[in-house]
A and B are shown apart, each in its own frame.
Chain A
Amino acid sequence: MDFKSKLLNDAVEQMSILPGIGKRTALRLVLHLLDQKNEDVIKFSNAFIKLKEHLNFCEECFHITENIKCDICSNSSRNEEVVCVVQDIRDLLAIETTEQFYGRYHVLGGIISPMEGIGPNDLNIKALEDRLKTNKIKELILALPATMEGDTTNFYLFRKLQDYNIKFTMISRGIGIGNQLEYIDEITLGKSLLDRTEYKSNYQH
């Protein structure tokens, strides 16, 4: 699609980078912005510039933070012996809203799926191992999606990290626990954390 204006073309191009936004929708959104007052558009774009300039990933757990360490990692009342491994920040936030978990997190940044080109090196697995080397962690709670990819990632982590002297547990996968933690209601999710069971690989022959 050519919109007969380089500026408009560029703006649509940039907008359509967003996931789920096609060219048509991008054009609608860009034209909407064009209709707004100058100061509003500046406010809008500054929000993203500031976000990117000031928000980093926690060097410990890869949660978002404006500092080097996130609020959770720098909160000394949170139990550093228990670490919950999650796929992404959305799942971390879902568990936080349950107010049932007082340990720390580790955000993997995805799950293993060679079909999508995602291998262990693309995830924050090395950093997790480094954390285990400090000998402070006693339990890893695996809270990854209940899919084949989630199972594979659990199994991979278990095999890779089983020589450290830690306990591996899994959130319970009762009825109603779907693939994405963020869609599970707080009470069910909180309960599945409390009811967590020891991780057992099916594949030990």
Chain B
Amino acid sequence: MFISELSLVNFKNINQAEFSFSPSVNCFLGNNGQGKTNLLDAIYYLSYTKSFFNSIDSQNVNFNENFFVIQGKIEENDSIFDLYCGMKKAEKKVFRKNKKVYKKLADHIGVFPVVMITPYDINLILEGSDTRRKFLDGLISQFNKQYLADLLSYNKLLKQRNAMLKDMRFQKSYDLLEVYEASMDEKARLIHKVRKDFIEEFTPLFNQFYRDISSNLEHVDLLYDTDLNDHTLSELFQLNRSKDEKLGYTSAGIHREDLVFSIEGNPIKKFGSQGQQKTYLIALKLAKYEFIRQQKKVSPVLLLDDIFDKLDDNRVGYILDLISLNKVGQCFITDTSTTKVPSVLSDFNVSFNQFEIISGTVKS
């Protein structure tokens, strides 16, 4: 699957731009702050219906304007479809496939799969469990719609349970509290099973990529941190009830689970070198890429943000091998130098389109 055309109006610093892309490699080249990464983000928008970097849609509208439009033409074998994302300030975002408006944005997830590799991936290691759950949920949702629906229901029920815990008027209303708990327990069983099965299937893939990229033999792992292997959520609610009442929120459940990134049995955040952390993240993203490819039987679009500057030659070489051996589909590369990436790609005998980006405008 690849994006053959992209047109933008008032998206971030890009007032107006139109592109025709190669189905293989495309490079956005230019100095920092010119808009290269915004172009990757526009493609990301067409996949996830939101920005990778800023989840507040209105803040992605060009500073001087009050709306943006992103349009793309997606091709897959013989079929072609158009995607449209329009956002007018103070109005609801509109997302269309072939002129048909999605009633629920969630219905679009997985239709046009994209994987982004960016220096910001380091947040997966540095930030709280929330960031890792988003990674996990975002990936599973690509091919399991029921999972996403269950997760949304669980989160709604959680909000209601928390509202009860915060409100004095609902103190000791255990008959109602148990209604929420029984409903959450049912959703948690389903979500837990999917997460567990997914991680079992995903981890070997991830380990393989790590081994392939890293020249060392260190052992890395990806563990599912959950209390639901040994207890049902209803049991946990019982155990934590007085604690939850004091806290005013729900201290255990699906919404507190985590992925533990480890190296030699220790958390990589503390015990991994910078190089090991970078390798870990690339392996994680490439495993995501491969997992989606296997599940959906299409190659996602790969977005490589600024990796040539930030990665050493070994890791870059590994990715270039994947590209030159046609193991990935369409890919987009950003870089600050107008000559470096083109010359490296030529060395690898990879053909490509290049676009020079200067203050939000394009020179082909």
- Residues of A at under 8 Å CB distance from B? 112-115, 117, 119-120, 148-149, 151-152, 155-156, 159-160, 202-203, 205
Contact = CB atoms under 8 A, between A and B. Distances in A.
Interface in B125-181: 153, 156-157, 159-161, 163-164, 167, 169-170, 173, 175-176, 178-180
Contacts of B178: 159
A121 B348 CA distance: 72
B175 A160 contact: yes
Given A112-B176, A119-B170, A120-B176, A155 B183 contact: yes
A205 B188 CA distance: 14
Given A202-B186, A203-B185, A205-B185, 14 more contacts: A114-B160, A114-B163, A117-B167, A119-B173, A120-B176, A148-B153, A148-B156, A152-B157, A152-B180, A152-B183, A155-B182, A156-B175, A156-B179, A159-B175
Most buried by A among B156, B167, B173, B179: B179
B182 A152 contact: no
14 contacts: A112-B176, A113-B160, A114-B164, A114-B167, A114-B176, A117-B169, A119-B169, A119-B170, A152-B179, A155-B182, A156-B176, A159-B179, A202-B183, A203-B182
Contact of B157 (A119, A120, A148, A156): A148
Contacts of A160: 175
B275 to A, nearest CB: 47
A152 B160 contact: yes
Contacts of A113: 160
Contact of A115 (B160, B169, B175, B182): B160
A155 B178 CA distance: 10
Contacts of A112: 176
Contacts of B179: 152, 155-156, 159
A160 B173 CA distance: 12
B150 to A, nearest CB: 12
A112 B153 CA distance: 16
Given A120-B173, A202-B186, A203-B185, A115 B163 contact: yes
Contact of B183 (A119, A120, A203): A203
Contacts of A151: 183
Interface SS, B side:
helix
Contacts of B160: 113-115, 148-149, 152
B339 to A, nearest CB: 56
Nearest to B161: A114
A120 B176 CA distance: 8
Contacts of B163: 114-115
Contacts of B167: 114, 117
A61 B183 CA distance: 29
B232 to A, nearest CB: 8
Nearest to B173: A119
A120 to B, nearest CB: 6
B170 A114 contact: yes
A27 B154 CA distance: 43
Nearest to A116: B163
Contacts of A119: 169-170, 173, 176
Contacts of A205: 182, 185
Q: What are the 6 tightest A-B residue pairs by CB atom distance, in nearest-first order?
A: A114-B163, A203-B182, A115-B163, A114-B164, A148-B156, A156-B179
A118 to B, nearest CB: 10
Contacts of B157: 148, 152
B334 to A, nearest CB: 42
Nearest to B181: A203
A205 B179 CA distance: 13
Contacts of B182: 155, 203, 205
Nearest to B164: A114
Contacts of B185: 203, 205
Contacts of B180: 152
B183 to A, nearest CB: 6
Contacts of A202: 183, 186
A148 to B, nearest CB: 5
A173 B182 CA distance: 22
Interface in B182-209: 182-183, 185-186
